Structure 1
Amino acid sequence: MSAILALILGQEFSKRTINLEVSAGHSRKQIFTSKIISYLIAFNLMALVYPVSGCIREFGRFGVADVGMFFYNIIKAIIYSCLLNSALFLIAILICCYLQDAVKATSVTAIIIFGLSLYLGYGMMLRLPVGFLPTYQIRIVVSMKTFFQPIAILVGCIWSGILVLLSWIKFCKCDFK
């Protein structure tokens, strides 16, 4: 899904849609903020379709002894998935800001996400440090009983903060005519 995000946002750079927004008098801050918010909301909603539908399907198949616990787990999964998936989606936004081309951004994003996935899989098997990866934190949070997971929140906030900052710095330097 990150590659799809890179493709869509990259097209806005390639087709000069962002240039038109700047020419229309919108500030870079408004454009950047609106792109970040709208893309993160849209892609997080798409990312949540499968886990939530899987929970509902399993609820019907196996039943749940405690309905409150069922909804507690769904809400916990939604909140942490949105935080940690956003960190991964921001990789695509950063790459789009740097490359400003749909095809290149999609390719590089796909390679980076694939590389992170390989590192997660082999890193767990080889006992390498994987706790800094947002995808690993999603796995940990879902398997834990407690709602408040400070390490997962910290990982998500650090990744998101760094990626938004780097994206903003590059977006401010982009040449929009």
Structure 2
Amino acid sequence: MSNLLKHRWYEIRHNPIFWITLAVCCAFALLVTNFTGLKYLTDPPMVVGISYNIQGFFSALTADIIFPLLIISGAFTAMMLGQMYSERTIDQEIAAGHSRISIFASQCIIGFAVPNIAVFLAIFSGCLRWVGSIPAPSAGEMLPYLFRVIILLLLLNFSLFSVCTFIVVLFRDTAKTITISALFLLVACWTMPALEQVAPHVHGTLYTNAPSLSLLLHPAFLMRYVLYSTLTPLQGLWSAGVAIGWTVLFLGIAYCVFRRCELK
């Protein structure tokens, strides 16, 4: 398994699509922060508890750009995984004696790592652009918040990408994989605001204080929900549970398909 992962990372590092993905995500984040800047801290907030410091800027920026970043990074990652089938890399790994479960697990690790690396690298690049221009909270205040948010967002991002993993093993074709994965991520991320609009909002803000069950089961909504500074431990556990539930369901289905599929 370790040799397979080393080989997988070697392929990813030498794939220009990986570096294009990182560059596009970072360029997008920097472009947005240059145009929006301090408006994130003065306009009606999308998340509760925004404060006029770099932590508040991080929360508002993440809430605003995480969906397009996930669509970009998720679609290109699905494309890279799809290439492994189109170029018969998977066939060669099976012929070399690797088990299907180890091959599938290595694909899942890549699917977890690459989109999250791209998303967080872009977000932190956008925040660094304003470091020094915005007050910084104390480390005791900011670090626990960042730790909680990053862990939950890692899980939630991968919960949506787990559907793309199913798409990859179902079609095993680069063109179909990137097209359908991008379409799924687009629909998943941009139908959520439609559901959110019918929920009651706190006066003068863009966030809801009474999300419906359909929203609380939607990973895209939870990506903004976990940014709330007032998030309780129970709400955090719920968000993690939903993310794990989506991941287990779709990766389980994906593995069943992969285990039985005929590779040509």
Flag the structure with more relative contact order, 1 or 2, with Cα contacts below 8 A and sequence separation at least 6: 1
Partner SS for 1:130: helix
* TM-aligned CA distance change 1:77 to 1:158, over 3 Å: same
> What is the alpha-carbon root mean square deviation over aligned residues?
1.8
2:112 is equivalent to residue 40 of structure 1 = yes
The residue number in structure 1 matching 2:216 is: 131
Cα deviation, residue 118, structure 1: 2.3
* TM-aligned CA distance change 1:44 to 1:102, over 3 Å: same
Q: 1:90 touches 1:164 (CA, 8 Å); kept in 2?
A: yes
Measure, in 2, the Cα distance between the counterparts of 1:171 and 1:141: 33
- The percentage of aligned residue pairs carrying the same residue is 25
Partner SS for 2:133: helix
Paired residue total: 177
Q: Which sections of structure 2, spanning at least 5 residues, go unmatched?
A: 1-72, 200-211
The structure with the largest alpha-carbon Rg is 2
2:160 is equivalent to residue 88 of structure 1 = yes
Cα deviation, residue 59, structure 1: 4.3
2:182 is equivalent to residue 76 of structure 1 = no
1:6 partner amino acid: A
Query: Mean alpha-carbon deviation: is it higher for 11-20 or for 136-145?
Result: 136-145
Choose the corresponding residue for 1:65, options 137, 161, 175: 137
1:26 partner amino acid: H
Partner SS for 2:215: coil
* TM-aligned CA distance change 1:173 to 1:139, over 3 Å: same
2:260 partner amino acid: K
The residue number in structure 1 matching 2:17 is: none
Partner SS for 1:2: helix
Partner SS for 2:132: helix
Q: 1:52 touches 1:74 (CA, 8 Å); kept in 2?
A: no
Cα deviation, residue 53, structure 1: 3.0
The residue number in structure 2 matching 1:164 is: 251
Q: 1:84 touches 1:134 (CA, 8 Å); kept in 2?
A: yes
Measure, in 1, the Cα distance between the counterparts of 2:144 and 2:132: 17
Provide TM-score, normalisation by structure 2. Answer: 0.63
Choose the corresponding residue for 1:51, options 112, 116, 123: 123
Give CA deviations for 1:90-142 in whole Å, capped at 9, x if unaligned.
Answer: 11111011011111111111111111122111111133732211121121111
Measure, in 2, the Cα distance between the counterparts of 1:79 and 1:104: 31
Provide TM-score, normalisation by structure 1. Answer: 0.91
> Which of the pair is proportionally richer in helix?
1
Query: Mean alpha-carbon deviation: is it higher for 107-116 or for 36-45?
Result: 36-45
2:185 partner amino acid: I
2:260 is equivalent to residue 173 of structure 1 = yes
Query: Mean alpha-carbon deviation: is it higher for 30-39 or for 120-129?
Result: 120-129
Measure, in 2, the Cα distance between the counterparts of 1:41 and 1:67: 27
2:208 is equivalent to residue 143 of structure 1 = no
Q: Which sections of structure 1, spanning at least 5 residues, go unmatched?
A: none
Measure, in 1, the Cα distance between the counterparts of 2:117 and 2:173: 25
